[in-house]
Each structure stands twice: as C-alpha cells, then as structure tokens.
Homo-oligomer: A and B are copies of this chain.
Amino acid sequence: MNRNALGIALTLAALAGLRADEGMWTFDNLPKAQMKAKYGFAPDQAWLDHVRLATVRFPGGTGSFISRDGLVLTNHHVGHGWIERVSDAAHDYVKNGFVAQDRKAEIKVPGLELATLMAMEDVTAAVAKAPGGPREALARLAKEAEARTGLRCEPVSLYQGGESWIYSYKVHKDVRLVMAPEYGIAAFGKDWDNFSFPRHDLDFSLFRVYEDGKPYVPPHHLTFASAGPRYGDLTLVVGHPGRTSRLETLAQMEAYRDALNPARIRALDRTRKALHAFAARSPENARIVSGTLMGLENSYKVFVNETVGLRDKDAMAAVARAEKELREAVAKDPALQASAGPSWDLVAKAMARRAAVAREDVASTFGSALPYAANLLRLEEELALPAAQRGAGYRTEKEIADRKDALRRRMFENLELEREFFLAGARGALEELGPDHPQVKALLDGRTPEAAAQALFASALLKDPAARAKAAESGVKGSADPLVVLARRLQPFNLALRQMREETSAVIAEQGARIARARFQVRGRSVYPDATFTLRLSYGAVETYPANGTLAQPFTTFGGLYDRADAWGPEAENRSWELPERWIKARPRLDMSTRFDFISTNDIIGGNSGSPVVDRKGEVVGLAFDGNIESNAGRYFFDPRVNRCISVDVSAILAALGKVYDAGHLVTEITSK
C-alpha cells in the first residue's frame, strides 16, 4: 500500500495558489480592482444591467430568463414545491418529470410569483434625516416609492443598518411549468449526496413567464455559452443569497459553537432517531414522515457541519483577528468608542445568558401537542391584557381572529407520530437536565416519559376537533384536559425562556447595529454586507479542494452518473442511486464524457439556489444548486481552502433535453441567439 508520489511537488505547489474569492457583492459596489487584478476582467455597467434584468427572484431562490420568450431556468429543488402543486394522483410530475411538448401544454402554477430587480435607490441620507426610527422611515419611503412607480418596492437594510436602500421589483404573476426532470435524477443520491461531491444531480427545471396570456418578452435574457467552463475558468454567480451572519461577534460564534449548536444538534438527533424508528414500523409511517424527515436531516447536516466549521481554529483565529482590529480602531476614536465601545461586551453578556439556558431551551421543544396547548394559554393570557400592552401578533382584531382560526383548524392527524415527538422531547428533557430539574419535575411530575405520554394522549383536545374548536373560541380556563394541565404547569418555564430570548435579541440587535455602524465607518465599502436575500454577485473559478483523503475532481460526467448507479446494483437495499427509466433507456445515445456537475470557489448560500453561473461574456455556463459540506460553515465565514459551490454544467442540461427528454424544441429555443 506504499504508493509512488510522482508529481506531488507540482500539485502541492498548485494547491498553494488556489483561486478562491470571498464575497457576496452588491451590484453597486463590486471589488473591480481585485477582480481585474486576478482575472483580468471586471464587469461594466452594461454587463451588470444585462445580468440583473435577466435574473429573477423565486420564493426562496433564484432563476434567470434564458430565451426571448420568457423561458426561466432554475433548480429543480427551487421548483419542487410548485411542481408538486400542479401534480395530482394521476400526474406525479415530481416522480415522473414533465415536458410540455408545446406552449399549450405548459401548466399554470397558481401562487407562484417571480420578481425582477428593476432599480436600487440609496436612501441612506433621507432615512437619516427622517423623523422617527430608521426602520419605520425606510418602510415609509418604500411605500411611497411603490405608490409612485407601480413596482414592488422593498426596504433593504445593508451592513446591519449602515446603508438603507429601496429595491424595486417588477413582479410576474403568470408563471407556467415547462419542463422538470424526474426527482430521481434531479436529486440523484437523495439526501445522502446532499452537500457532497462528486455529485451527479440534474437539478434544473424550466418555467415560462406569461403576460396578458402570451409569453412574456423580457427586455434582457441570458444566452447559453457554447460549452461549460474549463478548469480554472472565471465563474460569476448572480443571485439572491438568503442570510449570513459573518459580521457577528466572536462571542456569538463561540456561543453557537460551544453551547447553542451542540444542544440543538442533540435535540435534532433525538427527534430524527425517533422519526426513523417510527418510519421503520410501516411503509405508511415512512410515507407520512418523509417530508418532515427531509427537513430534519437537512437541518441536522447543516448544524453539524456549521459547528465543525466553527471549530476550525484557523478560521476562528481570523474572526478574532478582524474583531481585534476593529475594536482597536474604535478605541482610538472617541465618538466611535462612546457609541460602540461597550457593544461587544454587551453582546457577549447576552450570549452568555442564552448559553446558560441552552439545555433548558432545547428541553422545552415537543412536536405539536404541547405547543398547541401553550398557544391556547398564550392567547388567553394576551386577551386578558389591554390591546396596547399585548405582545406582537396579538394586537389587532384581525390578528386575534387569525390566531383563533389557526387554533381551530389545527389537526392531529396521526397521534402515534405526535406521541413519538413528545416522547423524544420528554426523554431529551431528562437527558439534558436530569430528573431533579424543576422544569423536568413540572413536565413529568414523577412519571416516566412513557407514563406522561400515556396521560397526555388520553386528552380530549388532541382527539376531538369539537373540543379544540371550543377551546380556540372560548379559551381553556379551568380545563382539566391533561394537555392543558401540563401546558399550564410548564407555562412559567416557557415564559422565562421567552423573556430571555426577547431581551437578549433586543440587546443583540441594538448592539450589533452599533458595531456594524462602527465597522462601516472604519472599513467603509471595502467589505460586502451580510446576505439579505437581495441581488448579489460572487466571482470565483472552477477549482478542486482536498476532500475524502484526496483531491475532489473538478467536474463529474454522465459516465460518473452511470458508474454510481451501476455501483450499487440490484442487491443493495439503498435505492437512492437508482436511475429513472428514461435515463436507463437513453444511455446508449449519450456521450459519457459530457460534463455534468462542477465545483467552483464562488461564495454562495441558500437563496442562491437556481442562480445562473455566467462567464465574462455574461453567457450561462452553469446553474448553481448546492454547496459542499464545508460550505455549511458559510453562514459564519468563507474558508477559501474548502468552501465550494456546486453547479450543473450547461452541457448536461442541453444533452438531457435533447437526448433524454425528446425536448429538441426547448434546445432550439435556448440556443437560438
């Protein structure tokens, strides 16, 4: 097993010069000098306007116009819920895929709205001058702009309040499904391969925007490059990254790393294990929880890997260094010192308060039954107060009516599943706090978790819709229902935790904004703002990274797809790598060396899903759909050594449309210039 290492010198030297480029930059503030120095390219205004106007925002994701007839490209997993919505028992377009053979066959998707960013207005000065709080002022200005322009105008607060903007969107309300591959190829490898690479996912879907019943002709659309990128090529990702916390303080990250995330991970782990056990009891059970498990497993993977990232000493040392520099700069400026000097310590105190009850906090979560009763009690409690003193969401008549309505409609369709959730929570409370903790005593009252569950699931409220409707309407005062009794016993603990959360959140928001303003004054626009689900550009290059004991291959190919499917064979119980029928049949027609997915150093995060990856000409070379495991720490920092964006290569999209889905008409539409 001793191996020859010819060429190692070369390759290590190459690794040292890895291309890696941090930042989710706003379109008004690109690091053009850096880009030019490194890649000999920086976009001009026409380039930026073109890609901005060809990009759309999906609910939770991104897409782009890729034909003059309003064809829109996004990820399958961005379209997933909408594809599901237009499916029915006889037409399972998620499982079987869908191809509209002509425009008439395109299916209108109720409720789906896409938005194009038409204008960005910097109103920082106006907000500063306006009376009242900055948040209210910005909201008012946005409303005024909306009335004036007829566009959807959204307030955008960048740099934790350092800049205020109004982003104006043209909204498209008639959106139709054009094409979706089978779930089995869009998410080949299922949850196992999520966040992994090498990857073989055809994670795309096509929609079309209509206006007045006709295909919409967008003022700008992206054309496909004649081929995907080559190794080392510059790649530009345009999209709407959702949320990052990179400008948070070291104390916040340490609290997440050491107390809050570990507690959350333990809780998620208990729940997922309970649900797996539930699912293993029958195929019907498995079907019932598959959606919930999907979310749980994803969250669990993200939390675990985010925490692994937070434990990286080098990355945390860099965070500490940046904070130290900023604090030193603040200390030298009396005005900044007065406004932001103590902020770091106040945030640290708030985080310490949160960390101190991290176990109590996760030990207070229990599926749906107890929260349902707690919500009944909360409503009763809020209604006892004058409207002005009530909590947010309990103030207007409409809010109260909505709450009652939600409580009335709440269903407990599967009590066995609810019982699993409760048991996981109760056993977790025991594990986290021990039997002598007052919160556990209140919960179990000396009983085992099983006995407590027994009593709880005898409850009329859980079983009887009429009892629930009555409780929602008239309250639960004096109720002897075991669920209400237990919720009442736990109320003081929940209240204390809620107060802790609200108080610490207020401190963190206020002090975080002070720190952000100080940073903005010290470092100005040389930094990019945290992600806010608004349009950003990330630049990078196709690049390997060290993974799995070797170097990750920069691309995968169709050959790799079939390799992975063949690898498991008919004997394996795990069907996650099973190919859809169309792909088995198309095999002889496909060129195995066609590039499928690729990795690049672009800095992206959830919300960027469906983002077009374009080259310097602004032509589409790929479609971003995921990050690798190491990118899970991207909420806190971008580690250039290992953080990678994963995209579908345009070659795979065109080959699939033409040779697997008999959708030559779409290939023609996409490739006609």
Check B190–A625 contact: CB distance below 8 A.
no
Contacts of A574 in B (CB 8 A): 7, 10-11, 14, 544, 551
Nearest Cβ on chain B to A541's Cβ, whole angstroms? 11
Cα distance A551–B577 in the bound complex, in angstroms? 11
Residue A157 at the chain B interface, CB threshold 8 Å: no
Query: Looking across the interface, which residue of chain B has its beta carbon closest to that of A14?
Result: B573
Query: Looking across the interface, which residue of chain B has its beta carbon closest to that of A75?
Result: B1
**A196, A230, A566: which has the most chain B beta carbons within 10 Å?**
A566
Report the stretch among A370-378, A388-396, A557-565 that lies at the interface.
A557-565
Check B1–A195 contact: CB distance below 8 A.
yes
Partner of A559, one of B230, B563, B576: B563
Check B576–A2 contact: CB distance below 8 A.
no
Contacts of A194 in B (CB 8 A): 1, 3, 549
Partner of A553, one of B80, B555, B568: B568
Check A562–B562 contact: CB distance below 8 A.
no
Check A7–B576 contact: CB distance below 8 A.
yes
Cα distance A606–B2 in the bound complex, in angstroms? 9
Within 8 A of B (CB), among A213-238: 230-232
Check B548–A557 contact: CB distance below 8 A.
no
Query: Looking across the interface, which residue of chain B has its beta carbon closest to that of A15?
Result: B574
Check B195–A549 contact: CB distance below 8 A.
yes
Query: Looking across the interface, which residue of chain B has its beta carbon closest to that of A95?
Result: B6
Cα distance A232–B275 in the bound complex, in angstroms? 27
Within 8 A of B (CB), among A446-480: none
- Tell whether A290 pairs with B576 under 8 Å between CB atoms, given A563-B556, A567-B555: no
Tell me the dominant secondary structure on chain A's binding face: mixed
Cα distance A275–B10 in the bound complex, in angstroms? 12
Nearest Cβ on chain B to A565's Cβ, whole angstroms? 9
Contacts of A544 in B (CB 8 A): 572, 574
Within 8 A of B (CB), among A409-456: none
Residue A384 at the chain B interface, CB threshold 8 Å: no
Partner of A1, one of B13, B560, B592, B609: B609
Q: Encode A263-292 as 1/0 by CB contact (under 8 A) with B.
A: 000000000000110011000001001110
Residue A77 at the chain B interface, CB threshold 8 Å: yes
Check A593–B196 contact: CB distance below 8 A.
no
Report the stretch among A44-52, A293-301, A489-497, A507-515 that lies at the interface.
A293-301
- Other than A1-B626, A196-B549, A556-B563, give 13 A-B pairs with Cβ distance below 8 A: A2-B295, A2-B298, A3-B294, A5-B297, A6-B191, A8-B279, A9-B293, A10-B575, A11-B574, A195-B549, A231-B569, A549-B628, A553-B577
What are 19 A-B pairs at a CB distance below 8 A? A2-B606, A3-B294, A4-B290, A5-B294, A8-B279, A11-B192, A13-B276, A14-B574, A196-B550, A197-B548, A198-B567, A231-B569, A232-B571, A553-B563, A557-B562, A559-B592, A562-B592, A562-B593, A563-B592
The residues of A with any CB-CB pair to B shorter than 8 Å are 1-14, 77, 80, 183, 187, 189-198, 230-232, 275-276, 279-280, 286, 289-291, 293-295, 297-298, 301, 305, 544, 547-551, 553-557, 559-560, 562-564, 566-569, 571-577, 592-593, 595, 606, 609, 625-629
